Amino acid sequence: MTEHRMTAAIDTSLVTTAAAAFSVLCASTAFAGVLADSRWVFPAVLTVLTVAAIGVLGRKLRWPLTATAFAQLAGVLVVLTAQFTEQAVLGLLPGPAAIGELGGLLSAAGELIRTGVPPVAAEPALQTLVCLGLGVVSVIIDVIVVGLRSPAVSGLLLLCVFAIPASLSETMLPWWTFVAGGLGFAVLLASGGQHRRWRSHEDREQLTRALFGPTTASVAGVAGVIALLTGVVFTGVGTEGRLPGAMPEQLGGGTDGIGLQPFTSLRGQLNRDREVELFRVRGLREPTYLRALTLRKFNPERGWELEGLTQGVEANGELPLPEGTDIGEGSAERVEVQPVGYRDPWLPVFGVPRFLSGMGVNWRYDPAAGIVFTQTNQESRAYIQQLIVPDPSPDQLRGADGPLRMAPEYLDATGIPPQVTDLARRLTANAPTAFDKAVAINRYFTDPRNGFRYDLRTAPAGGGDALSEFLFRGKRGFCEQYASSMAALLRAVGVPSRVAVGFTAGYRDGDERVITTEDAHAWVEAYFPGWGWQTFDPTPLSDGRTALPQYLDSELRPEQQPVPAPGQELPSTPPTTDPAPGDERPEDGSDVAPADPRETEQSSPWPVVLGVLVLGLALLAVPGVVREVRRRQRLRAVAAGSAGAAWREVLDEFRDRGARPAATDTARQVATRLLEHHGLDESGAKAMRALVTAVEREWYAPPGGQPDGSLPETLHEVLNSLRRGAPLDLRSRLFPRSVLQQLRPATT
């Protein structure tokens, strides 16, 4: 006969709740196939565990099933607010501003899904969407498995979790995600398969045998096979990394654009957890930027976009000069490019390409945009490029004159805010030529005295509002902000401009140059009659990766001062006398860069661990923080003579100790009961009576009386007496009853 001991019994609802959360987390591993880094993992785990914890609490307190589900959904909202918004109430609770932030993030996530090519970086917008989806799925599965006791039904929902990333991925999802999903579903079935025979508390050994016995292993194996087959099917009918209908069949199409936000993948390159090699280049004599594509349309809401890409010409063979370029002078070079970890519909090229070969079929070249592209996302082969690296002198560019033989859209300044236009005019007030204007604007960003900082962690989308925020207040960002801003400033003063996206020249390895994800970059190209599009780079990099052309480097080097318009100040923070950390240059003015940060950066688990600890402590501290905020508000009011604020503080102190004063009692009746139950000493009782008198005088006496100057001392004596006679334990200090019982905000 089996003896059931209470010490060995386990609440079976806890088991099924844990199994439900475990199955969702196992299914969520499928997102590893479409997200390039693991930043989404911790927020997702926290969201799912929050749903499980609230479910346990609701069943412990015997809440109705619907009430528990609504509480879980509210918990998901709180977790999203705390993790992804900056305007949460008390840093945790969702208010109107925080809800608006979440809405903006979800909209941005939709755009990233529509335009991005997986795997994409796990940006906060995508993290928000993933956590929201997993949170809702967790609530539904918790209701099905624990509330309705139908675990098998939840398999359909878990399959949907797999179907979404499987349909978005171009290739098979990682095999281990299917194994994890099968294991999670098997444990879920085992946790509820015997619910009709299990009691509310069951023997620990019996539960262990049911959950991890041979039956579960068999189910896990079958589920894993089914999951693998399902993954193959969904991948086969996928949409090549995009939702159906999100992308035209062809990349080119007149002036319709292509619906791609190029900075989506660029951010992914910049924010990767590890460095990935992309290209190896032979034959490049001097460091030169490797251009993947150019953007000509400025959208005030969405930033810079590709527009007007034509069908161009066949890329294999001799190529025409870019539109509006008559002068083919420069250094002629032949380079061999070997793609390593690169897969994209854009084939990067150096300088002005004149001949291409070896990359395969179906590649086109648009001379106006300077872009080599394909209509299908195919693996890039090694290719050979013959090119010209233009080397005009500053005087030649100053003297460049003639018709602007390029599309008028490159001059379109629609949507540029008036204050940005005003800044551009003041910066170029003393610049007589288009080249001088470009140099002046470029210098404004790179001169450390003007306060701009290169920062990978501050990179919102380059829309109109973001443009003003960056130029006039933030002044922190990476190349996206700098290139977007300079191109807009150039157009504001009539200089044709576009944003180029690609890579810096990487680092030398023997007779090759190695280009990695660390070299992803954006810069500006300005048009000069005859010479065509010339490179400018406003990003103040300090790691030696900048590859400025000689005409720009010679102009920026001598100048060390800001360039305000006559009689006006630049709209910047007060100049600093020393460069910001990371922007230092050697005293001799050379380009010797500090050690490459890529050699010293190491990933560490400690940020995640610390994040978990900080968030846990923050959650625990919320009730106590609210209580302390109320106390401080009231003490300030008491110092100003408010007896009512002192009375409310005393009542909350008693509530924290378990007292529940009746709302219908007078202050004198309440004080009498409190004195009887909590036994204040003689000085405390005397102070309590004096406080009641002051309260009654404030409530009932004619207005206009003088405030009681001894009120703070009276309150202090009451509280000290209460704390001496009935000190609060740790639980009451962390979770004060006065906060938990009252839903209304504190008043003073």
pLDDT at residue number 1 = 40
User: Which residue has better confidence, 331 or 545?
Assistant: 331
Report the pLDDT value the prediction gives residue 221, as an integer from 0 to 100: 59
pLDDT band at 613 (very low <50, low <70, confident <90, very high): low
Least confident among 241-245, 352-356, 687-691, 713-717: 241-245
Tell me 389's DSSP state: E
User: Where is average pLDDT lowest: 78-92, 229-243, 460-474, 682-696?
Assistant: 229-243
363-366 vs 371-374, strand pairing mode: antiparallel
CA nearest neighbour of 537 among 266, 288, 285, 286: 288
Q: How far, rounded to the nearest angstrom, does the alpha carbon of residue 431 sit from its chain's CA centroid?
A: 39
Q: What is the pLDDT of residues 280-290, one digit of tens each?
A: 999 988 889 99
Distance from the first to the final alpha carbon of the chain: 65
pLDDT value of position 583: 39
Which stretch of 259-273, 503-517, 689-703 has the lowest confidence by average pLDDT? 259-273
Residue type at position 412? D
Question: Looking at residue 328, what DSSP letter applies?
Answer: -
What tokens appear for 247 in the block? 């992308």
User: How far apart are alpha carbons 721 and 715 in whole angstroms?
Assistant: 10
91 vs 711, more confident: 711
Q: What single DSSP character describes residue 602?
A: -
Say if residue 268's pLDDT is above 70: no
The one-letter amino acid code at 471 reads: L
**pLDDT band for position 385 (50/70/90)?**
very high
**pLDDT (average), residues 564-587:** 40
User: Over the stretch 482-532, which tens digit does the pLDDT of each residue have?
Assistant: 999 999 999 999 999 999 999 998 888 888 999 988 888 899 999 999 899
Is the pLDDT reported for residue 213 higher than 70? no
Least confident of 183-192, 272-281, 545-554, 602-611: 602-611
pLDDT at 647: 86
Report the chain's mean pLDDT, rounded to a whole number. 76
What does the pLDDT read at residue 527?
A: 94
Q: Determine the angle formed by the axes of helices 262-270 and 479-492, rounding to 10 degrees.
A: 140
Predicted confidence at residue 255, as pLDDT, reads 28
Strands, E assignment, 578-690: none
Distance CA 419, CA 616 (A): 44
* CA–CA gap between residue 659 and residue 679 (Å, rounded): 13
Higher-scoring residue by pLDDT: 592, 475: 475
Average pLDDT over residues 83-100: 85
Per-residue pLDDT for 740 more than 60? Answer: yes
Residue 243 sits at φ, ψ, to 5 deg, of -70, 150
Architecture label for domain 395-496+542-585: Roll (3.10)
| Residue 236 confidence (pLDDT) above 60 | no
> How many other β-carbons are positioned within 10 Å of the β-carbon of residue 69?
20
Cis peptide bond N-terminal to 418, omega within 30: no
- The pLDDT-based confidence of 115 (bands split at 50, 70, 90) is low
Show the tokens assigned to 199. Answer: 């009691």
Q: Pick the range with the lowest mean pLDDT from 113-122, 142-151, 472-481.
A: 113-122
Classify the phi-psi angles of 62: left when phi > 0, otherwise alpha if psi is within -120 to 50, otherwise beta: left
Specify whether the CB–CB gap between 337 and 283 falls below 8 A.
no
Q: What does the pLDDT read at residue 729?
A: 78
CB within 8 Å of 509: residues ≥ 6 apart: 280
Which region among 396-410, 597-611, 733-747 has the lowest average model confidence (pLDDT)? 597-611
Phi-psi region of 134 (alpha: psi -120 to 50; beta: other; left: phi over 0): alpha
Q: pLDDT at position 257, please?
A: 27
Has residue 460 got a pLDDT over 60?
Answer: no
Distance CA 638, CA 711 (A): 7
Band of pLDDT at residue 204, cut at 50, 70 and 90: low
Which tokens belong to 338?
A: 């070997």
Most confident among 9-23, 188-202, 552-566 (mean pLDDT): 9-23
Residue 307 predicted with pLDDT over 50: yes
The two tokens of residue 380 are 């890039």
* pLDDT > 90 fraction of the chain, expressed in percent and rounded: 20
Residues facing 357 on adjacent strands: 384
Q: What pLDDT is stored for residue 90 in this prediction?
A: 80
Report d(CA 37, CA 580) in Å as an integer. 30
Q: Residues 343-351: what's their mean pLDDT? A: 86
- In this prediction, residue 243 has a pLDDT band, given cuts at 50, 70 and 90, of very low
Taking alpha carbons only, the member of 501, 486, 483, 392 closest to residue 439 is 486
**DSSP one-letter string for 676-695:** HHH---HHHHHHHHHHHHHH
Most confident of 2-6, 10-14, 462-466, 479-483: 479-483
Domain boundaries, the chain: 6-236, 262-392, 395-496+542-585, 614-741
Closest C-alpha among 4, 64, 83 to residue 618: 83
Indicate if the pLDDT at residue 31 is higher than 50.
yes
Confidence of residue 110 (pLDDT cuts 50, 70, 90): confident
Bridge-based pairing of strands 512-516 and 277-282 is antiparallel
Give Dmax (Cα) for the chain: 102
pLDDT of 214: 58
Mean pLDDT, rounded, for 37-55? 90
Reported as a pLDDT band with limits 50, 70 and 90, residue 728 is confident
Predicted pLDDT of residue 572: 41
| pLDDT exceeds cutoff 90 at 349 | yes
Which of residues 247 and 465 earns the better pLDDT score?
465
pLDDT in tens, 369-380: 999 988 765 666
The one-letter code for the residue type at 502 is G
Q: 354 pLDDT exceeds 50?
A: yes
Cβ pair 121, 272 in contact under 8 A: yes
Cα gap 224→230, rounded to integer Å? 10
Query: In the prediction, which pLDDT does 244 show?
Result: 33
pLDDT value for 207? 55
Checking if the pLDDT of 352 tops 60, the result is yes
Tell me what pLDDT residue 615 has: 60
- Top-confidence residue, 734 or 264: 734
Rg (CA), the chain: 33
pLDDT at 673: 77
Mean pLDDT, residues 229-254: 38
pLDDT score at 108: 78
Q: 537 pLDDT band (50/70/90 cuts)?
A: very high
**Predicted confidence (pLDDT) at residue 600 exceeds the cutoff of 50:** no
